[in-house]
Structure 1
Amino acid sequence: MSELLAKAGKKLVSYSVGQKIRAKVISKTHKALILDIGGKSEGIVTEKAFIEARDFIKTLEVGDEVTVSVLIPESRDGSVVLSLRQAMYGAAWEKLEKARDAKEGVAVYAKGVNPSGIAVDCEGVSGFIPTTQLGKEAAKNPQSLVNKYFKAVPLEVDRSVNKLVLSEKEVSDASDIKAAGEVISKIKEGDIYDGEVTTVANFGCFVKIKVGKNAFVEGLVHISELSWGRVEKVSDVVAKGDKVKIKVIGKKDGKLAFSVKRALKDPWEEAVKKYKVDAKVKGKVVRISDFGVFVELEPGIEGLIHITKIPPATRLSEGLEVNCYIEEIDTKAKRLSLGLVLTSKPIGYK
Structure 2
Amino acid sequence: MHQTVVEKEDGYMERLLKDKKVCALLKDGDLAKGVVMEKRPKKLFVDLGAYGTGLVYGVEYLNANDLIKTLEVGAEVVGKVIDPENDAGYIELSLKEAGKQKGWDMIQDVHAKDEKFEASITGYNRGGLVADVFGIAGFMPVSQLSNEHYPRVGADQQKILEALRQFVGKTLAVKILSFNQKSNKLVISERAVAESDLRALVATYRIGDVIDGIVSGVTDFGAFVRFSDNSELEGLVHLSEIDHRLIDTPRSVLNVSDLVKAKIVDIRDSKISLSLKQLKENPWDKVLERFTEGQEIAGEVIKFNPFGALVKLDADFSGLIHVSEFGGFDEMKGTLEVGVSYPFIIKSIRPEDKRIVLVRKKEAIENQEGGVVQDADATKKTNIEAPTEDGQDAAPAA
What TM-score does the superposition give when structure 2 sets the normalisation length? 0.44
More strand, by proportion:
1
What TM-score does the superposition give when structure 1 sets the normalisation length? 0.49
